[in-house]
Amino acid sequence: MEMKEVELNELDQEKQPMTGDTPAGTEKNGCVKVKVPEDTEVKFTGLTKEELMRVAGTTGWVRTRWILLVLFWLGWVGMLAGAVVIIVQAPRCKPIPEMHWWNEGPLYQIADVSTFSGDNGFKGVEEKLDSLNQLKVKGLILGPIHNVQLNQPSTLDLKTINPVVGNEKGLNSLLERAHKKGISIVLDLTPNYEGAAVWFNNAAAVAEQLKAACAYWLHKGVDGFLMSDLGQIASTSAWPSIQAVVQTNATEESKKPALMGSVTSVSVDDASLLLNHSGVDLLLTSLPDLTQTGIEQAQGINKLYSSHPQTSLGWSLSGRTLGPLTSRAPHVPIRLYQMLLFTLPGTPVFNRGDEVGLKEGEPLDIIWDLESTAEEKNETAKAVRAERSEVRSFFKALSDLRGKERALLHGDFTSLYSSASSLAFLRLWDQSERFITILNWGDAPINMALTNSDLPAEARIRLSTDTEKLAVDSMVSLQKVYLGPKQAVLLSYPYAG
């Protein structure tokens, strides 16, 4: 056949017989030609409403829906019951004690405003607020700043600012700026602050003037007052009226003014009696004294803490009459004092320069020179500057930690260990992180085993003055704590339930 016929037969396969061969000349039959479209779309229309209703009403589907409904409600009730059980069995949170602004951070004393500010008065103090704010300072104790001549009670004027310090306009500007930064301003109203007899040997004679001055400065926006040698003024008949002026001046819209007093060289018993008698909001004492044994320190702290709320305890080991912290006990490194004051139950109070370890007679410029970027060329001066920077960083780290951790802010105090030259105590609060302070101000290393029902086997190092042997964030066994001479360490461990 020709090629066209072959192709035609191959293409017309549907015309070939289904079975057998057909006789010649007859018509081929039994063949079906079907055309299937190439792009056929099958649409699923689903069940109609009537079909769905018929299926939904069947016994199987009704039973399934009931089972699912019962399972849902059983699960919901089970979760509710579980939540109730968890809430009932969970330990109750201990109520937070009432705290005031003077309990929230360290207080910073500036006795000589003129020297501190570089002879720039209140304006100079205002320029230093940013630096003080970095240290988490919550209050400045200024002065005394009033007018008086040495041992001349007739010249006393508690409402007038000494021109050497500044004027009311400068004080108002300082108050406004400090309040914006959350820093309160306290005035030291000690009358004869340059004389040996701070109350002119007759506190009753100036009591009325003191009362009027408190009312005057509160109206100007001052946040509190400090009275040195509190025992003398608190024993006068006018003291209750002075209390009334200061302590009843607060409103719901304003923070409470603070009535503070300070005492030096008094026993623990005398300090306790004065706290009870005077009713001050905060008593600044020169306790503890590291020239005494750790056993005496632990006993004194326990006595004050157990008899009075820690919100009324202020620890002030430096100041206008005591000098810088470095002169308190020259053989004790400044960082040991910083750690002790920041971790005791109460308010730490520091004198200007204590944050860098300023010594008696050293210029205050040292404090601010640390913030400059200038390089020291003298190697000795460079080493001293580096040491002071480390001291300031240590101070700041302690202040940050105290402001964040409830155990350090208002936690309970428990003595763990004490010896002639060492002290260890525990601070804990409810379900918060616990902290252990260990101090060794002696000349020999110590090994101690700390025991208490709350203590775990190990604790983490948070801050240390000996970072070579006690590296921060490393773990230490509480059954065998080694601490070198003139060293301190702060440990922590979590609440275990």
The pLDDT of residue 8 is 46
Calpha distance 297→423 (Å, rounded): 8
The pLDDT of residue 33 is 61
Which three-class secondary structure state does DSSP give residue 245?
helix
Low-confidence ranges of the chain (pLDDT < 50): 1, 5-8, 11, 14
Residue 24 lies in a domain: no
| CATH number of the domain enclosing 116 | 3.20.20.80
| CATH number of the domain enclosing 477 | 2.60.40.1180
Q: 345, 374, 404: which is the final residue of a domain?
A: 404
The pLDDT of residue 438 is 98
Please give the residue range of the domain that contains residue 69. 59-89
The pLDDT of residue 94 is 82
Q: At what angle do helices 59-89 and 49-56 cross, to 10 degrees?
A: 70
The pLDDT of residue 48 is 81
Residue % of the chain over a pLDDT of 70 = 89
The pLDDT of residue 149 is 94
Contact in structure between 495 and 459 (CB atoms under 8 Å): no
Q: Do 422 and 344 share a structural domain?
A: no
Interval 385-424: pLDDT, tens = 889 999 999 999 999 999 999 999 999 999 999 999 999 9
The pLDDT of residue 1 is 43
Which three-class secondary structure state does DSSP give residue 332?
coil
Calpha distance 465→469 (Å, rounded): 10
The pLDDT of residue 253 is 63
Q: Do 274 and 126 share a structural domain?
A: yes
Which three-class secondary structure state does DSSP give residue 377?
coil
Residue 18 lies in a domain: no
Q: Do 77 and 162 share a structural domain?
A: no
Q: Do 327 and 185 share a structural domain?
A: yes
Residue 30 lies in a domain: no
Which three-class secondary structure state does DSSP give residue 491?
strand
Contact in structure between 305 and 298 (CB atoms under 8 Å): no
**Residues whose CB falls within 8 Å of the CB of residue 442, separated by 6 or more in sequence, listed in order:** 420, 421, 422, 485, 486
Q: Do 291 and 218 share a structural domain?
A: yes
Q: Do 233 and 116 share a structural domain?
A: yes
Q: Residue with structure tokens 């007038």? A: 160
The pLDDT of residue 232 is 95
The pLDDT of residue 31 is 56
The pLDDT of residue 473 is 96
The pLDDT of residue 30 is 54
Calpha distance 103→101 (Å, rounded): 5
Q: What are phi and psi of 103, to 5 degrees?
A: -100, -10
Q: Do 488 and 392 share a structural domain?
A: no
Residue 77 lies in a domain: yes
Residue 22 lies in a domain: no
Residue 236 lies in a domain: yes
Q: Do 164 and 246 share a structural domain?
A: yes
Mean pLDDT of the chain: 89
Number of domains observed in the structure of the chain: 3
Residue 389 lies in a domain: yes
Q: Do 394 and 353 share a structural domain?
A: yes
Q: Residue 222 is encoded by which pair of tokens?
A: 């001052």
Q: 89, 110, 145: which is the final residue of a domain?
A: 89
Q: Do 172 and 64 share a structural domain?
A: no
Q: 379, 404, 429: which is the final residue of a domain?
A: 404
Beta bridge partners of 398: none
Residue 43 lies in a domain: no
Q: Do 350 and 209 share a structural domain?
A: yes
Q: Do 418 and 362 share a structural domain?
A: no
